[in-house]
Structure 1
Amino acid sequence: MDKIMNFLEEKVMPVAGRLAAQRHLTALRDAMVLTIPFIIIGSVFLILANFPIQAYLDWMAAHPTVKTTLLYPYNATFNLVALIATFAVAYRLAQSYNVDALATGATALAAYFTVTPFTGFVTGVNPETKANIIVNAMNQDYFTSKGLFVGLIIGIVTTEICRRVIHKNIVIKMPDGVPPTVARSFVALIPGFIAIFVVYLLRVGIEALNRAHFNLFGILDFTNITSIHDIVKVLLQKPLTEVGTSLIGTCVVMILISLLWAVGLHGSSIVGSVMVPIWLQLTSENALATAAGQVPPHIVTEEFRTIIQIGGSGGTFGLVLAMLFLSKSKQMKQLGKLAIGPGLFNINEPILFGLPIVLNPVMLIPFFIVPVIQTLITYFAFDLGLVHMLTGVVPPWTLPPIIQGYLLTGSISGAILQLVMIVVTGLIYYPFFKIMDNKNYKEEKEAETPSNTKKAIVG
């Protein structure tokens, strides 16, 4: 066990630390964090439009205008995450380079609109020619999580272009008397133009390859590719989705989260910077299916992680309950009392660093095992139809368990699933917890013995 701990400290921790501090991953993480409030706001209205009580649903079906109205905020928040993330990743990355973050974020949005394809919509029939009247408009499907990958890539690329142009001093400089706000807008002019022109050439080039039916080594058949969205889907999004959201892939992701926490790094944030865009894409598809009254198609989504991480990463809520009610040592009992409040709202730093679990060879064993067991139980519960599918609703991650399970699935079966997992994970943690509890209890008794002896002698 000492060899494992030394390996974690000497090999894993330095690499993980560098990853956590890497500016592009940090910008991705911050961008995804910014989307969360809007996703939650949209989820509230999605719940109101599809509240899981049959009488309520029947009333909604009889009053479709009410449901349509309730979905307005959902469409204005949940379905704009690609635009929010595009601006945010460029803004945060520009901040790290000390260049104008606001101008860079706006440039990234303009660049994203530049590469996003148009779609023709039939708006009526010409009374003279009897032909359909077609209006070309930007495809708003790409404003949702469907365009999230491209938005993040465009945000990073445009920021790098702007940053390099600015650092080479290829900017318009205004006289000293010009107000700073006006001067900054002119400084952003040339970098912004170059960034947008580059992505414009990219779009024109892809469309030219599409018209030529170009085939790149059998990997990219441009006959079926009309935009960068299609390229990203073929090369990046689809493979990552198929691997990262499979049963085995999800288990690996959960182990990676635990591995990073094992050396004191925020595993959910680091891994989430890569996986959250994938999970949110599938969350959005589940939400669209729910809004349309259909069965949600995906098991592993952003809410899948939420429903299994009861008490936080490692599913530590069962451990907190064991500490609170089954401890013999005063230390463990007191820590259980301190941790039950945060744990109820899925905050487990008091346990991770107070017990501790971090760099603790005893507690790291269940900390790695529990997420895998949770993943297996939850995945098969959905796959076998024992639990209602995740509806695409994303309530606050601090929502207490059982209530959370009910809202995530729109069914009592989700609440029962979380209750079962609390029991199972508590049983897994119990023997390892008792090793520490017995050790602490023995030490407390030994600490009391000299004091008692001294009192007896004095007496």
Structure 2
Amino acid sequence: MTSHDSEPDAGSTRPFPLFPASRDGGRGHVVVRAIKTGLVMMLPIVLLGSFSLMLRSLPLPVWQHFLEAFAGGLLPRLLLALQYATFGLLSVYLTLLVSFSYAQSDKHPEALLPQAPITSLVCFFLLIGFGDERFSLDSLGINGMFTAIFAAVVSSLCMRFFQRRKRLPVFYSEGSDIAFNNAVRAVLPSFLTIGLFALGNEGLVLAFDVSGFQDLFIRLAEACFGHLRPSLFSALLYAFMTNLLWFFGVHGTNVLEGAFQSIFAHPGLAPDAAVFNKSFFDVFVALGGSGSTLALLLAVLAFSRHRGSRRLMAVALGPMLFNINELVIFGLPVAFNGYLLIPFLAAPLLCTLTTYFAMSVGLVPPAGDAVAWTTPVLLGGYAATGSVAGSLLQAFNLLVGVAVYRPFVRLLDREKDRQAARGMRALVKLLAERQERGLPPDLMRAEGPPGVLARMLAADLGHALNRGELELHHQAQFDSAGSCVGSEALLRWPHPVFGFVAPPLVVQLAEESKRLGELERWVFTEAGRHAAALRERGLPSKTCVNLTPSTLYDAAFLDHLRSKIAEGALRPEDLLIEITEQTSLLFTGESSALLKSYRALGFRLVIDDFSMGHTSLKYLQDNEFDMVKLDGALVRDLTNPRSREIIVSIVSLAEALRFAVLAEYVETEDVRRRLENIGVTLYQGYLYSPALPFERFATFVEARAGARPEDGPASGRRL
């Protein structure tokens, strides 16, 4: 199932990112990565909160009456409790998760866990002024997101700094377990970190007469508006600041509520005030929520190539229709995503301009104040203006937003492709390193991003098997007369995100996820189906199929083949079972008997990567195998006299023991000619063709001059 051909890496120009890249494989800075990971880890909480808020806020009288009437109002109370337990404590969860994510990314996470998240939470409570008479519970929810991120990041950095100071005393308890010692060791760093936050926050309280860092942050945000009057400029500034705060995970609308009231709540102060009110921004600017994210959702559904992003948007569509967009802000995520900053700010600004122009010139009546913010798009435009023109303006603004987001969605796709390629290379490298060192790969148990990627790919592989998304390609095999005599069947998995996944990785993931038997039964069945189709078209049907040791030695698999042969679904004479020389090292007397059973059914056996190994010679002596494939290293090093003599010896042995010899990696005519001169007359490689999808392979063989169904090699042996 593995492949000898390779796919060239597609080059691409990396755009200038908003956030700097670190040196560890080109990934984003560790702090930004921890923030984004923390936001993504909140997805289950945000999902539950979004649907609770949506169900409680649906602006349908029939629905609201049902909620109040059912079980004495139980549903509204339940939904409100879920909303408070999720969105009401979102900043608390974020503090813990960002700190946890940062600690996990450290080279020595055990030094920071679990003390760093607890320390961060204490620091967060200090910064929001917990216990002060001016403290607001809103700071525990979305309003406190920026403070939560600040507390988590800075306190974790402080903890890490103090943990690594050699001059600080380290306390250990003799005979205690590791967890206890780690906790004791964190006492002083935690004490110093919390002390710094307490002193710093108290300094802000005394200097600015605020309840804490959170209160000061809100006042500074409101101060940006000064004594502005209602005008186009103040509307643009309000739209800009609101969405900028949302980008950094802060509920901009709530934070700037005071500024909004002071500027736009007294419309008699300026001629433009009749245009600007709460409905102006909620209905025509915040389409789907902050950042006009309904436009982002449509742009992703229409233009993104990433199934995961489209799937998330499909889930978010329900809440988004009612302007509840936390699932997208924290799930995609939009927050702290440098690739989406520009459109996230630009789309609302353009919607502000188009709405102001349409209402100023009389194309659309000014918006009223009596529209619930959860009113769906198009309905909201009509309800706010009393005119279909309001709905048309919403639709126009939505198209403007989609046009703004479209190039950035494509840009984000390319960045995800690069990240996926880096992750895939790291996973393949990990597999190769562990195999070379003779260690169990255990990819799905690996720590960090490689393990996460392996588990995700294993789940995707299961879906691909169930949905028939795997492919079997064929690489042609030729003799010295230029006639095609057969092919090798090669597994291909075209993953929608990662492209073609390396076959050895597919096999390893299938083995670890307990689906290897299912995978190889599919490969064998598909190869048999292809061979039958080739035979019907008068083409060479001999096909080599790779099998892993666990399947090869599985008596149940042998029984499966017997049943397929009895059904007429397989012809053993069409299929050659191919195993590597390394596999043969696992042979026992029992497995040798199994090999004889395969031969008794009519299958022929092939050794891949043959290089005169002791075990291979032993089984050739027992006449178990019908063909050997030369080790690729020998073919590539054919100009080396030693490699050439080894091949000559194998050919001589083949003539004596009557088995065929095939050379892979034949990429030039010079190599083919050198091989022919020393007696190798069967070839496979890029000189003839890469591995091709079945229909292209069949067409290729038909187009080759001299291709005949039962052509054999010039030496007289056939596959």
Q: Is the 8 A contact 1:308 1:374 kept in 2?
A: no
- Aligned pair partner of 2:216 in 231, 246, 266: 231
Letter in 1 for 2:92: L
Residues 102-139 of structure 1: per-residue CA shift (max 9 Å, x gap): 2101110012223333568xxxxxxxxxxxxxxx7964
- 1:204-219 matches, within 5 Å, as 204-207=202-205, 209=206
- What is the rounded CA distance, in whole Å, between the counterparts of 2:193 and 2:43 in structure 1? 28
Please state how far the C-alpha of 1:390 moved relative to its aligned partner: 7.8
Partner of 1:148: 145
| Alignment deviations for residues 150-172 of structure 1 (CA, whole Å, 9 cap, x no partner) | 22111122112111110114353
Does the 8 A contact of 1:282 with 1:298 survive in 2? no
> Given residue 297 of structure 2, which amino acid in structure 1 is its aligned partner?
I
Comparing both structures, which one devotes a greater share of its residues to helix? 1
Q: 1:308 aligns with which of 278, 291, 295?
A: 295
TM-score, normalising length: structure 2: 0.36
Which residue among 12, 16, 38 is the counterpart of 1:13?
Answer: 16
Q: Report if the CA contact (8 A) 1:303-1:408 is conserved.
A: no
Aligned-pair distance for 1:143? 0.5
* Pairs aligned (count): 318
Question: What whole-Å deviation, never above 9, does each CA across 1:327-378 have from its counterpart, x for those lacking one?
Answer: xxxxxxxxx9x8899758649xxxxxxxxxxxxxxxxxxxx99995686347
Structural mapping, 1:132-147, within 5 Å: 139-147=136-144
The Cα shift of 1:76 comes to 0.4
1:298/1:425 CA distance change after superposition, 3 Å:
closer
SS in 2 for 1:13: coil
* Partner residue, 2:56: 49
1:202 aligns with 2:200: yes
Aligned partners of 2:295 and 2:405 also within 8 Å: no
Alpha-carbon distance, 1:275 to partner: 1.4
Look up the match of 1:385.
367
Residues 418-429 of structure 1: matches in 2 within 5 Å? Answer: none
Following the alignment from structure 2 to structure 1, what is the Cα–Cα distance between the partners of residues 353 and 344? 14
Give the equivalent residue in structure 2 for 1:72: 81
**Residue 282 of structure 1 pairs with residue 265 of structure 2:** no
Is the 1:24–1:156 Cα contact (8 Å) retained in structure 2? yes
Conservation of the 8 A alpha-carbon contact between 2:343 and 2:405: no
Contact 1:60 1:66 in 2 (8 A): yes
1:250-296 alpha-carbon deviations (Å, 9 max, x no partner): 68999xxxxxxxxxxxxxxxx99x81413x3437999xxxxxxxx78
Find out whether 1:106 has 2:118 as its counterpart.
yes
CA distance in 1, matches of 2:310, 2:159: 44
Q: Per-residue deviation at 1:27?
A: 2.1
What residue ranges of structure 1 are gaps of 5+ in the alignment? Answer: 1-7, 121-135, 215-221, 255-270, 287-294, 321-335, 348-367, 394-403, 431-450
| 2:99 aligned to which of 90, 114, 122 | 90
Aligned residue type for 1:228: F
Aligned-partner residue type, residue 282 of structure 1? T
State TM-score, norm by structure 1.
0.53
Task: Give the counterpart letter for 2:77 in structure 1.
Answer: T
Is 1:165 matched up with 2:162?
A: yes
Tell me, what secondary structure is at the counterpart of 1:83? helix
1:188 corresponding residue in structure 2 = 186
Q: Which amino acid aligns with 2:149?
A: L
5+ long unaligned stretches in structure 2: 1-11, 229-233, 258-277, 315-341, 360-365, 407-698, 704-719
* 1:185 shift after superposition: 0.9
Identity of aligned pairs, percent?
Answer: 17
SS for the counterpart of 1:87 is helix
The structure showing larger relative contact order (alpha-carbon pairs under 8 Å, at least 6 residues apart) is 1
Q: Which residue of 1 aligns with 2:478?
A: none
Q: Secondary structure of 1:196's match? A: helix
Q: CA deviation at 1:52?
A: 2.4
Larger radius of gyration: 2
Residue aligned with 1:84, SS:
helix
| Pair 1:415–1:93, CA change in 2 (3 A) | farther
What is the Cα deviation at residue 380 of structure 1? 5.2
Distance 1:375-1:226 versus aligned 2 partners, 3 A rule? closer
* Structure 1 Cα separation of the partners of residues 344 and 189 of structure 2: 49
Give the stretch that moved more between structures: 16-25 or 187-196. Answer: 16-25
Please tell me the residue identity of whatever aligns with 2:46.
Answer: I
Q: CA deviation at 1:232?
A: 2.0
Measured in 2, the distance between the counterparts of 1:390 and 1:417 equals 18
Q: Which amino acid aligns with 1:376?
A: L
